């Protein structure tokens, strides 16, 4: 019973959004049907060696929102004021296990996952370029 409780404490719900510069819908469907690609497959398609996930939806959505706002500003006709209102997010229950910060320098032997801290004081917002604080409704 103790090891099961320890295992459950090493699980976390993480958010994933497909790369907005690629076919977002196709990549999302591929993940849902086949699972996430391995790090070796990421290397062959010239991508980072990790699957970018976050426990913060705002951080996960930031690149997609910035990309869509940039795309909307490039159009000649009047841009949609909220071009990012529709999107797909995958919520995954992930075993994070023994984790270590990226770039710790000692390698990642006996480590289940790596992470990088994100400064949440500078998160994205629709009004002023930063995320407003979360509110419970």
Nearest CA-CA partner of 94 in 39, 57, 54, 43? 54
Range of the domain at 45: 2-97
The 3-class SS string of 89-106 reads: CEEEEEECCCEEECCCCC
The residue among 12, 6, 9 whose CA lies nearest residue 115 is 12
Q: What is the number of domains present in the chain?
A: 1
Mean pLDDT computed over 96-123: 74
Please give the pLDDT value at position 102.
80
Is 136 a domain residue?
A: no
Residue 117 lies in a domain: no
Give residue for tokens 């010239």: 46
Residue 43 lies inside a defined structural domain of this protein: yes
Considering only residues 32 and 49, tell me which one the structure prediction assigns the higher pLDDT: 32
Q: What is the pTM of this model?
A: 0.67
CA distance 24 to 26: 6
| Average pLDDT estimate for 29-44 | 73
Is residue 105 in a domain? no
In a domain, 12, yes or no: yes
Q: Which residue is listed with tokens 């996952």?
A: 113
């Amino acid at each position: 019973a103790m090891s099961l409780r320890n295992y459950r404490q090493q699980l976390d719900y993480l958010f994933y959004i497909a790369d907005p510069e690629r076919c977002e819908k196709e990549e999302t469907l591929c993940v849902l049907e086949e699972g996430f690609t391995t790090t070796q497959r990421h290397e062959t398609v010239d991508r980072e060696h990790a699957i970018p996930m976050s426990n913060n939806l705002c951080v996960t959505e930031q690149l997609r929102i910035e990309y869509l706002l940039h795309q909307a500003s490039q159009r000649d006709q009047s841009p949609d004021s909220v071009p990012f209102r529709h999107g797909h997010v995958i919520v995954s229950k992930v075993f994070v296990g023994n984790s270590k910060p990226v770039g710790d320098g000692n390698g990642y032997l006996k480590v289940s996952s790596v992470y990088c801290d994100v400064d949440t004081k500078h998160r994205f917002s629709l009004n002023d370029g930063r995320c407003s604080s979360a509110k419970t409704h």
